[in-house]
Homo-oligomer: A and B are copies of this chain.
Amino acid sequence: MAIDDVDRALLVRLQNDATQSYAALGQAVGLSAGAAHERVRKLKATGVIRRTTIEVDPAALGSGVLAYVLLDSDAWMGDEPTLDALQAIPTVEEAHIIAGPASVLVKVRTGSTEALQATLRSLHLVDGVTSTQTIVVLESFFERAPAVV
């Protein structure tokens, strides 16, 4: 799909506030409400907009501990069993196959260091994992949505 500057402007505005009306949205980018609606419909249909969602404050829900964990392995971990095992751990927010010393990088968010420890235990139990290296976040400067280039 071809995405032009108007689409990008719509995406930026919806990223900031997805509750605004199509009338407001259209006015901001110089379009009628109907036209704005049609563009957003297409962006959703083609998958550029994955979904409309809420951004939750993890700290308000009691998840104040953030860490990144590097997983070393004795086998190739790029297959579905690994994905399933990692996805089954609710405190694992991201999982990536990486180039470099380790095999997999996961982002973990928990409510306490004890819960982090429990997650590390779960990670050690994933097939192929031989060791982990944990990077504990002391303070987050920011976590923001992907830039709309």
Contact = CB atoms under 8 A, between A and B. Distances in A.
Interface string A74-100: 000010001100110011011111111
Nearest to A100: B135
A136 interface: yes
Interface in A37-56: 46-56
A52 B19 contact: yes
Contacts of A57: 47-50
Contact of A96 (B56, B78, B91, B141): B141
Interface in A58-81: 58, 60-63, 66, 68, 78
> Which label, helix, strand, loop or mixed, suits the secondary structure of the A interface?
mixed
A51 to B, nearest CB: 5
Contacts of A86: 141-142
A146 B61 contact: yes
A38 B97 CA distance: 43
The 3 closest A-B pairs by CB, nearest first: A95-B141, A50-B55, A96-B137
Given A18-B51, A49-B56, A95-B140, 5 more contacts: A18-B53, A49-B57, A91-B147, A94-B142, A97-B140
30 contacts: A1-B60, A3-B61, A11-B54, A14-B53, A15-B54, A18-B51, A19-B52, A48-B57, A49-B56, A52-B52, A52-B53, A53-B53, A56-B146, A61-B148, A66-B96, A68-B68, A83-B141, A83-B142, A87-B142, A91-B147, A93-B143, A94-B140, A94-B144, A96-B137, A97-B138, A98-B135, A98-B137, A100-B135, A105-B137, A109-B147
